[in-house]
Structure 1
Amino acid sequence: MDVALWIIAGLLALVALAGGLTKTFMPLDKLAQHDGAAWTRGASPTFVRALGILEILAAIGLTLPAVFDVAPVLVPVTAACWIALMIGTMITHGRLGQAKLALVNVVYLALATFVVVGRFGTTPFTA
């Protein structure tokens, strides 16, 4: 179970890092051309960049606290925050009629839930 939790947290961290780097560093006009980022057309640049930075921080929070054994409780806390982000993302994609993208976010939400339950309950780092 521990290995599965590490793998899933790592995969979620990669997803968060990719999304965060894209939102933080890609020119917004280029980002808005992609179907998955259509929501950025109506968002302020500051909001998009802030969301990107939060996703980069999520990537860090899903892995590094446990890797360095410094406040590893931050891993499930970050996963819980990722769940909240995925709920907002699903709502946004749903409003834009992007059901396939919303379903991808459901998968990310389920994986994050697995990490939360696993690290707070069945397989905490302190075990």
Structure 2
Amino acid sequence: MNVTYGIVAGLLALFYLYGGGLKVVRSRERLRPMMAWVDRMPMAAVRTVGVLEVLGAIGLVLPPLTGVAPWLAMAAAIGFALLQVGATVVHLTGGDRLIALNLALLLAAAVAAGAATTWL
């Protein structure tokens, strides 16, 4: 694992563990102040996104550390990039033009996916 991947993937994993964990355990009312889009989605979809974020965070970090199925790290990074494309669409269709965080996460996921190819 190279340093670039380790830093970017570590930061992404922390972000998605936190955000995904909140989506899994918090109610709609407690999520609303920081995620206004939850009002437009069924809670089952919000929970599913949360579980996928937690699993993806694990997939970014665990395979490179253990050496078992390291290709999963690149798959997780690509999955996060696709997630942010979808998230950007959800924000824009809901009238929310604050997509800078989504674009930054998309870029970080792309960097992680690219960096993962150097040690596969």
Alpha-carbon shift at residue 117 of structure 1 (Å): 1.4
Q: Give me the whole-angstrom Cα distance separating, in 2, the residues matched to 1:80 and 1:27.
A: 28
Please give the alpha-carbon distance, in whole angstroms, between the structure 2 residues aligned to 1:92 and 1:119.
28
Of 43, 52, 55, the residue aligned with 2:50 is 52
Gap regions ≥5 residues in structure 1: none
Supply the distance in 1 between the matched residues of 2:48 and 2:22 (Cα, whole angstroms). 12
Give 1:26's aligned residue: 26
Runs of 4+ residues deviating >3 angstroms: none
- Supply the AA of the counterpart residue of 2:119: P
Taking structure 2 as the reference length, what is the TM-score of the superposition? 0.92
Measured after TM superposition, the shift of residue 96 of structure 1 is 2.7
CA RMSD, 1 decimal = 1.5
Q: Which secondary structure state, in structure 2, belongs to the residue aligned with residue 98 of structure 1?
A: coil
Pairwise mapping of residues 40-119 of structure 1 onto structure 2 (< 5 A)? 40-100=38-98, 102-119=99-116
Unaligned runs of 5+ in 2: none
Provide the C-alpha distance between the structure 1 equivalents of 2:97 and 2:5, rounded to a whole number of angstroms: 28
* Count of paired positions: 120
Task: Tell me the secondary structure at the aligned position of residue 62 of structure 1.
Answer: helix
* Counterpart-to-counterpart distance in 1, 2:35 and 2:17: 16
Name the amino acid aligned to 1:22. L
**For 2:62 and 2:45, how far apart are their aligned partners in 1?**
25
Structure 1 residues 46-90: Cα deviation after superposition (integer angstroms, max 9, x where no partner): 111111111100110110111111111111111001010000111
Question: Residue deviations 1:20-71, cap 9 Å, x none?
Answer: 1110001112212x1x411111211211111111110011011011111111
Secondary structure, aligned partner of 2:101: helix
